[in-house]
Structure formats: structure tokens, C-alpha cells
Amino acid sequence: MAKCDEGYLCELCGENVDHITESELYLRYVVGLIDPETLHTTQERHIKCNPILAQFIVDAAFPQTQVEGEFCKERMDSDFVAEQEKLITRGWRRLREIEMQADADLPILEYPLPEIQQRLRDEA
């Protein structure tokens, strides 16, 4: 089967990442952690397969993620946690908006949060 026929497979669990709202790759993209130039070469993962990132999504529609050990957000600086929760939650909500606009053919450069889009324009 050709790579394009396989869909997007999670590099950790090997299962399909069926929806953009499950995509750790696109979540990191919309919050500015992945450059658009490397988006197509970066491995896909489910958000749930990266619990360290998933723990920062604070939304009733997203299952709460608990991390044990050193990377548990309860062990991190509270200001950092608040900042990450705000950013990552906004990013996940943006993915939900994108999924709802699937029929609109939104250009991929318009996926990121507004401040990330502005930063990308400023850097261009």
C-alpha cells in the first residue's frame, strides 16, 4: 500500500489518527511548536499517546489526562502550567474549529492561532 493510502499512522501506537482533533502533530502546529516547513516531514501521533502534552488540555470535551512522575504538571511551576494550559487548550479548541470548517477548504497556513499566524508572517 502506498504511504498516501495508509492515512496518518501514529508513530507510537501504529493506529490511524482519524481526526484532526486527535492529532498531536497538528496541535503542536497550531500552537507554534512546529514550523510549517517541517509539518510534512514530522511524524504523527495521537494526542492521547503524548500524555505530557495532553495533560495541558483543560476542556470538558477532552478526557482529563494524568501523568505520573517528573513531568506531571502538579510538579511544575504553576505559572508555566497556567500558560501551557491556556495555550494548549486554545490550540485543541482551534483543531475543533478546523474540523467543523472541513467543507470550507481552509488553507493550512490559516490553521494556527492568530498570534502564531502573525509571527509566521513577521518571520517571512
Q: Is 32 exposed, middle or buried (0-12, 13-18, 19+ CB in 10 A)?
A: middle
Is residue 20 within 8 Å of 27, Cβ to Cβ? no
With beta carbons less than 8 A apart as the criterion, state whether 93 and 111 touch: no
Percent of the chain beyond pLDDT 70? 94
Categorize the per-residue pLDDT at 6 as very low, low, confident or very high, splitting at 50, 70 and 90. Answer: low
- What type of residue is 39? L
Q: Using one digit for the tens of pLDDT, what is the confidence trace for 54-89?
A: 999 999 999 999 999 999 999 999 999 999 999 999
- The length of the chain is 124
- What is the model's pLDDT at position 3? 43
The answer to whether 56 touches 47, Cβ cutoff 8 Å, is no
95, 24 contact by CB (below 8 A): no
Report domain extents, the chain: 3-111
What's the predicted TM-score (pTM) here?
Answer: 0.90
